[in-house]
């Protein structure tokens, strides 16, 4: 009793109470402003709007404790400098695809897509339940960046062509916009791969700077108006059977967050990853109908001998990448083991069901 009276008279109790309570009040009111740079044109359907949705989810779920502003390609940094901008801390987040950074981290391509490899469902399963996520984090760690799956295009189209592809010989000399491992496969087939950001595709195709381009699928291709610049629309998307898009997060910025905010950022990425796949599945259907029936697009399947040649070359390219260094070998071994296991299951489940339904 005497001790309590002494503290009260000295005013120590008041000081102690304020010094304990103050940090909690400050933390609750702290507002962070994050920048998200992207490789996509601002507000471009699904890809750009997917980045917008990620920003919205983080902002709303955190009750604006983190407010995320999205910058389209070229607004703050060029499209292919997104990874570097996040690594440097110029922006706290980025949204793009791992194959865009192949000049910096060649083995990162395994985390985007592999020609004739796993589809969207299988890629997501490998990342979250097959050890892929841990390997991805390990790969980006030296750059001070954390990766997160934040979208998937599902199986793409082979692309738009201004010349017919009737045989392997027609690939020789073909100048085509195609990124990642698919681009190297085309090179070995005699073509010339060109890496261009999405915003430059229509003009390049229309002016003849390139002979062909892949982008994503009917919904995005319709939005870009690519049917106005090319005659033939080929399938299937052998080069990108299920491309994982990624959020890259500056590690220092992430680690400075309270635990609940870290959880919000991670789970917002998972929500967008799922939502983008379902949106493409929903909207590609109507878009293809519009391209075929309204705009009379000539949709064609690539000849079997062409697909066979591309598959053989893909195996060469992927095997060579896996042998580049120990990191690439480790990632590929994990990827390939999971791919074989999931193929064995899907051969008697998904594949058979598709054939009989």
**Strand, coil or helix: what is 176?**
strand
Considering the segment(s) 159-240+299-356 as one domain, its CATH architecture is 3-Layer(aba) Sandwich (3.40)
- The stretch 298-303 carries a mean pLDDT of 98
Q: Which of 27-41, 75-89, 302-316 has the lowest mean pLDDT?
A: 27-41
Q: According to the model, what pLDDT value does residue 14 have?
A: 40
Environment class of residue 341 by beta-carbon count within 10 Å: exposed (0-12), middle (13-18) or buried (19+)?
A: middle
pTM of the model: 0.89
pLDDT at 319 over 60: yes
**Per-residue model confidence as pLDDT tens digits over 99-129:** 999 999 999 999 999 999 999 999 999 999 9
Domain 159-240+299-356 in the same topology as domain 31-155+242-281: yes
For residues 215 and 331, give the distance between their C-alpha atoms in angstroms, rounded to a whole number.
26
**Strand, coil or helix: what is 155?**
coil
Q: According to the model, what pLDDT value does residue 230 have?
A: 97
**Per-residue model confidence as pLDDT tens digits over 13-24:** 343 333 333 333
Q: According to the model, what pLDDT value does residue 280 have?
A: 96
* CATH fold of 31-155+242-281: D-Maltodextrin-Binding Protein; domain 2 (3.40.190)
- The stretch 229-252 carries a mean pLDDT of 98
| Cβ contact 239:122 at 8 Å | no
**Per-residue model confidence as pLDDT tens digits over 82-103:** 999 999 999 999 999 999 999 9
**Per-residue model confidence as pLDDT tens digits over 180-236:** 999 999 999 999 999 999 889 999 999 999 999 999 999 999 999 999 999 999 999
Q: According to the model, what pLDDT value does residue 10 have?
A: 45
DSSP 4: H
Mean pLDDT of the chain: 93
Place of tokens 């796949």: 277
Domain spans of the chain? Answer: 31-155+242-281, 159-240+299-356
The model's confidence at residue 29, banded by pLDDT at 50, 70 and 90, is low
* % of the chain with per-residue pLDDT over 90: 91
DSSP track, 161-189? ESS---SGGGGTT-EEE--HHHHHHHHHT
Q: According to the model, what pLDDT value does residue 32 have?
A: 98
Q: Which of 193-197, 267-271, 319-323 has the lowest mean pLDDT?
A: 193-197
- Residue 234: strand pairing partners: 159, 300
The model's confidence at residue 42, banded by pLDDT at 50, 70 and 90, is very high
Stated as kind and residue range, the H or E segment containing 137 is helix 132-140
pLDDT at 26 over 60: no
**Per-residue model confidence as pLDDT tens digits over 54-74:** 999 999 999 999 999 999 999
Can you count the helices (H) and strands (E) in the chain? 14, 11
For residues 264 and 13, give the distance between their C-alpha atoms in angstroms, rounded to a whole number.
37
């Amino acid at each position: 009793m005497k001790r309590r009276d002494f503290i009260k008279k000295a005013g120590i109790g008041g000081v102690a109470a304020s010094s304990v309570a103050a940090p909690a009040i400050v933390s609750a009111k702290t507002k962070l402003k994050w920048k998200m740079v992207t490789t996509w044109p601002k507000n471009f359907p699904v890809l750009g709007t997917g980045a917008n949705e990620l920003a919205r989810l983080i902002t709303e779920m955190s009750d604006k404790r983190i407010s995320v502003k999205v910058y389209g390609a070229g607004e703050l940094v060029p499209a292919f400098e997104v990874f570097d901008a996040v690594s440097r801390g110029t922006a706290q987040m980025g949204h793009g695809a791992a194959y865009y950074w192949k000049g910096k981290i060649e083995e990162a391509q395994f985390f985007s897509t592999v020609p004739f490899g796993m589809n969207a469902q299988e890629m997501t399963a490998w990342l979250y339940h097959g050890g892929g996520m841990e390997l991805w984090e390990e790969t980006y760690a030296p750059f001070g960046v954390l990766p997160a799956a934040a979208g998937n295009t599902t199986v793409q189209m082979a692309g738009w062509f201004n010349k017919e592809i009737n045989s392997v010989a027609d690939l020789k000399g073909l100048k085509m916009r195609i990124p990642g491992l698919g681009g190297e496969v085309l090179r070995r087939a005699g073509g010339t791969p060109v890496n261009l950001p999405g915003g430059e595709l229509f003009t390049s195709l229309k002016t003849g700077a390139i002979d062909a381009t892949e982008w994503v699928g009917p919904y995005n291709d319709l939005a870009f108006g690519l049917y106005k610049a090319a005659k033939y629309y080929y399938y299937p998307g052998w080069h990108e059977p299920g491309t994982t898009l990624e959020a890259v997060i500056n590690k220092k910025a992430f680690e400075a967050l309270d635990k609940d905010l870290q959880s919000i950022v991670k789970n917002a990425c998972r929500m967008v990853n799922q939502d983008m796949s379902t949106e493409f599945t929903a909207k590609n259907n109507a878009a293809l109908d519009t391209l075929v029936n309204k705009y009379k697009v000539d949709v064609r399947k690539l000849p079997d001998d062409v697909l066979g040649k591309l598959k053989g070359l893909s195996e060469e390219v992927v095997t060579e990448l896996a042998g580049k260094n120990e990191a690439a070998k480790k990632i590929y071994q994990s990827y390939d083991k999971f791919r074989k296991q999931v193929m064995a299951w899907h051969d008697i489940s998904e594949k058979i069901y598709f054939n009989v339904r």
